[in-house]
């Protein structure tokens, strides 16, 4: 349900059964919103993956760049040129939510923050997070940096199942970060909610107060995300309501479905040598050799075509080349004999046919509908490859000489990440300082399901840039009816909001199209649902009155 209607940040919530990954409750769960420091869950996930795959060690020392050292609060206090172990950066990012530590992790793993952000986005796609795009490692407000309540809940579940050996870092109230002992930004919720053991808080002025939490009671585990809370207290109270409702709804016995290992399909790391004949014990004359190397297509186009249609070219080579020749195509089976043409002529013909087949439109592989858009794919170089454990193939010893002489392979996909020059917003919590240049337009996204109240996510002017159009996040109150129900008046707005949230969870079917409102009257804060038909209002009141809840129908 909505928090304060005057809140600057849209509200979203998502609850899942962690054992199966099934949705329990969603309110605007797929809307693309500012995630703030919930971003650091992916930063830490990438760090854990790098350690487990042997790319780095926990005691690897990262050198702090001036960019990382200049990040706004919350900060660990790193200095440019300083060297610090990865284990301390992980603790600072997970416990204190330090922006400088998170940026240092990204730069240390990928070489630069834009490259690391691209790898984060690629990993998000591999994990099924379709409404997420990263532009930095720490979550400070930036154009094009967004996620959703559903995706952040998925991220929390992945941390729990994929790296249980590191998961306890999220339940620590404090930690030794090398140069200082840091306190957890989530300690209030961890101390107040029974069974809570993580995961991550987030705050910026543009995002509001965010939290992804996990809790266990008995054999049940619930993971939930709240985006756009109006305060730490409101966010924690809302999360407690969501978790309570989740524990009450999910069955005790559920078949556990562990998530499958992510597969980074967007990386192009395997290269195929072009059909390039080289005589081993040459039975042909020197005059034949140029013909064997000739091609009707430029070398660069040949490389690109064969890389895209390696199967077709390999098949053509196998069918066309003679077995009596000492020539062979790299990575192809021994060719079969055909005709009485000279070896050099046959190899040239086979190469041209393979290239022609590769360059025809029909031979190009169709684009995957779920492939990431251009710019969301990690580069294939060793320094920017994703953390999926794959390695660039190398030529066998006996073929290394001819591989070195081959034309250049197709260029691997690279990222072009435009980093907008937008003022950053300091991180959580409020007492660490505010800035007013907080809201940056998100990229265009699909409107969420019409199950929520209307909130406008306004675009603010970025420096020296034209303002973007407003994005309206549609939520409930669709004008289906002119009746409402009132649940009574209460002493505080928070009490009224929590009653509305609890009621909406309990009667989600009947109140699906309703909008929640808290009216500030002289006699107290009145909790209302509006936008109902007369029949729907009567149905809601009859159900609530059956549970001894005060309810009255109002026009």
Q: What is the pLDDT of residues 3-39, one digit of tens each?
A: 444 445 899 999 999 999 999 999 999 999 999 999 9
Q: Which of 28-32, 527-531, 535-539 tops mean pLDDT?
A: 28-32
Known catalytic membership, residue 65: no
Q: What mean pLDDT, rounded, does the chain reach?
A: 74
Dist CA 144 CA 283 (whole Å): 61
Type and span of the H or E element at 27 = strand 22-27
* Catalytic annotation, pick one of 37, 65, 184, 214: 37
- State the pLDDT confidence band at 293, using cuts at 50, 70 and 90: very low
pLDDT per residue over 179-214, tens digit each?
Answer: 999 999 999 999 999 999 999 999 999 999 999 999
The residues near 32 (Cβ < 8 Å, ≥ 6 apart) are 131, 146, 147, 148, 442, 443, 445
Known catalytic membership, residue 413: no
* Catalytic annotation, pick one of 26, 40, 147, 310: 40
- State the pLDDT confidence band at 447, using cuts at 50, 70 and 90: low
Question: pTM for this structure?
Answer: 0.55
Known catalytic membership, residue 115: no
Query: Which domains does the chain show, CATH number per domain?
Result: 12-249 (3.40.710.10), 272-373+397-409 (no CATH), 483-554 (3.30.70.1070)
pLDDT per residue over 355-372, tens digit each?
Answer: 455 455 544 444 444 443
The residues near 539 (Cβ < 8 Å, ≥ 6 apart) are 510
pLDDT per residue over 224-272, tens digit each?
Answer: 999 999 999 999 999 999 999 999 999 999 999 999 988 875 444 455 5
Six token digits for residue 277? 């004949």
The predicted structure's pLDDT at residue 273? 53
Long-range CB pairs of 470-474 (<8 Å, 24+ gap) are 471/441, 471/442, 471/444, 471/445, 472/447, 473/10, 473/28, 473/31, 473/447, 473/448, 474/447, 474/448, 474/450
Residue 68 near residue 89, CB atoms below 8 Å: no
pLDDT per residue over 68-79, tens digit each?
Answer: 999 999 999 999
Dist CA 52 CA 340 (whole Å): 57
- Name the residue with higher pLDDT: 111 or 443: 111
The predicted structure's pLDDT at residue 147? 98
- State the pLDDT confidence band at 496, using cuts at 50, 70 and 90: confident
The predicted structure's pLDDT at residue 272? 52
* Catalytic annotation, pick one of 97, 313, 314, 332: 97
């Amino acid at each position: 349900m909505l928090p304060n209607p005057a809140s600057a940040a849209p509200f979203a919530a998502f609850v899942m059964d962690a054992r199966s990954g099934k949705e329990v409750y969603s309110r605007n769960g797929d809307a693309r919103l500012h995630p703030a420091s919930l971003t650091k869950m992916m930063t830490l996930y990438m760090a854990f993956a790098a350690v487990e795959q042997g790319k780095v060690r926990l005691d690897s020392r990262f050198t702090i760049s001036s960019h990382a050292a200049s990040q706004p609060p919350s900060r660990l206090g790193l200095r440019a040129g300083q060297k610090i172990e990865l284990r301390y950066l992980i603790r600072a990012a997970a416990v204190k939510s330090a922006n400088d530590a998170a940026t240092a992790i990204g730069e240390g793993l990928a070489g630069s923050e834009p490259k690391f952000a691209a790898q984060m986005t690629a990993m998000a796609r591999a994990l099924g997070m379709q409404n997420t795009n990263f532009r930095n490692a720490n979550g400070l407000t930036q154009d094009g940096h967004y996620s959703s309540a559903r995706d952040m809940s998925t991220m929390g579940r992945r941390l729990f199942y994929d790296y249980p050996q590191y998961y306890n870092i999220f339940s620590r109230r404090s930690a030794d970060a090398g140069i200082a002992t840091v306190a957890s930004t989530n300690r209030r919720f961890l101390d107040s909610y029974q069974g809570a053991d993580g995961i991550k808080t987030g705050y910026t002025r543009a995002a509001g107060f965010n939290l992804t939490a996990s809790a266990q009671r008995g054999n049940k585990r619930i993971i939930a995300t709240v985006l756009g809370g109006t305060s730490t207290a409101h966010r924690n109270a809302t999360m407690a309501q969501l978790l309570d409702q989740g524990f009450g709804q999910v069955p005790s016995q559920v078949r556990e479905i562990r998530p499958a290992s992510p597969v980074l399909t967007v990386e192009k790391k395997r290269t195929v040598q072009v059909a390039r004949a080289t005589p081993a014990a040459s039975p042909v004359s020197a005059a034949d050799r140029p013909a064997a190397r000739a091609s009707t297509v430029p070398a660069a186009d040949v490389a690109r075509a064969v890389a895209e249609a390696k199967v077709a070219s390999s098949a053509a080579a196998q069918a066309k080349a003679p077995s009596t020749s000492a020539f062979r195509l790299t990575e192809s089976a021994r060719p079969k004999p055909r005709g009485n043409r000279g070896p050099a002529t046959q190899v040239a013909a086979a190469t041209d046919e393979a290239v022609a087949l590769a360059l025809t439109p029909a031979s190009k592989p169709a684009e995957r509908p779920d492939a990431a858009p251009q710019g969301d794919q990690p580069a294939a170089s060793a320094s920017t490859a994703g953390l999926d454990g794959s390695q660039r193939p190398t030529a066998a010893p006996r073929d290394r000489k001819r591989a070195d002489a081959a034309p250049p392979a197709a260029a691997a996909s690279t990222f072009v990440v435009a980093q907008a020059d937008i003022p950053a917003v300091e991180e959580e919590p409020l007492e660490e300082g505010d800035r007013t240049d907080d809201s940056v337009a998100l990229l265009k996204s699909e409107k969420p399901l019409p199950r929520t109240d209307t909130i406008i996510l306004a675009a603010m002017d970025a420096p020296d840039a034209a303002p973007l159009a407003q994005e309206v996040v549609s939520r409930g109150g669709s004008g289906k009816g002119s009746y409402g129900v009132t649940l009574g008046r209460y002493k505080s707005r928070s009490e009224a909001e929590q009653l509305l949230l609890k009621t909406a969870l309990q009667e989600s079917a009947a109140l699906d199209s309703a909008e929640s409102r808290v009216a500030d009257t002289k006699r107290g804060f009145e909790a209302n649902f509006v936008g109902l038909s007369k029949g729907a209002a009567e149905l809601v009141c009859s159900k609530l009155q059956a549970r001894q809840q005060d309810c009255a129908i109002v026009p």
